[in-house]
Amino acid sequence: MTWMCKQSLIAAEFTGVMILIIFGTGVVSQVVLSSNPAVAPTPKGEYLSISFGWAAGTALGVWVCLGISGGHINPAITIAFATWRGFPWKKVPGYIFGQLMGGVVGAALVYADYFHAIDIYEGGRGVRTLKTASLFSTYALDYMTNVSCFFSEFFATAILVIVILATTDKGNGPPPLGLLPLVLFILILGLGACLGMETGYAVNPARDLGPRLLTSMVGYGSAVYTFRNQYWLWCPVLAPILGAQAGAMFYDVLLFNGRESIVNKP
């Protein structure tokens, strides 16, 4: 593979995640910030708006890069494909780097767009607390235990991967390749509407860590990392990666007959 080809794969994943984050964190910012009458005269959306925004961001992000890089836009998916579908491990670091940087840049663009609204919502210019850090990354509800937080992300990501593998399985009635983003729209909308309340359904390490890096650089400081004893690492990063592995194992052991899987190789 030529150097330029490798660059285009990384750039495709970067762009896909950037689109995802622009729509996702953009809708969260609009819904939350507009609840303050000093920001907008009337609220601009509700929880269902957030589910639709993340679903649209996922579908459009995948559509942008599907034919170039495969449209992973998620390190948990990339690692699962490397483990269970023969995706080359040598490409994994580059994919994850592109995905993470896409998260940083997407969040930076939304932060710049809503900068003044955040100032008003926080009550002063340059004031930055976890109250608005949650516009960009996920923070669990107070009553959730650490085990429950981990399980919520693990479970949702396992469902995500089972459906993705089913819709890309040639022996299981997959949609035409160009319609895969539509399936993902329905999937992410469902995950948000049904399982998103407790931890914010990161289900994607780049979706959380990229924007979290951005918030730590623009005034939110170390609080975005110290929340709940390094919550940022074990819940929205490790839980999705392990949940993706569990979902892939479930699908391949019980449902998949293709020889791409390590389960079915001669």
Segment 28-65, tens digit of pLDDT: 999 999 999 999 999 999 999 999 999 999 999 999 99
Query: Is residue 208 predicted with pLDDT exceeding 90?
Result: yes
Half-sphere exposure of 39 (CA within 13 A, CB side): 21
What letter does residue 41 receive in the DSSP assignment? S
**Which residues contact residue 199 at a Cβ distance below 8 angstroms, ignoring those fewer than 6 apart?**
138, 140, 141, 144, 149, 152, 153, 235, 236
Contacts of 180 (CB under 8 A, 6+ apart): 62, 66, 71, 167, 168, 174
Question: How far apart, in whole angstroms, are the C-alpha atoms of residue 113 and residue 117?
Answer: 9
For range 84-105, the mean pLDDT: 97
pLDDT > 90: what percent of the chain? 92
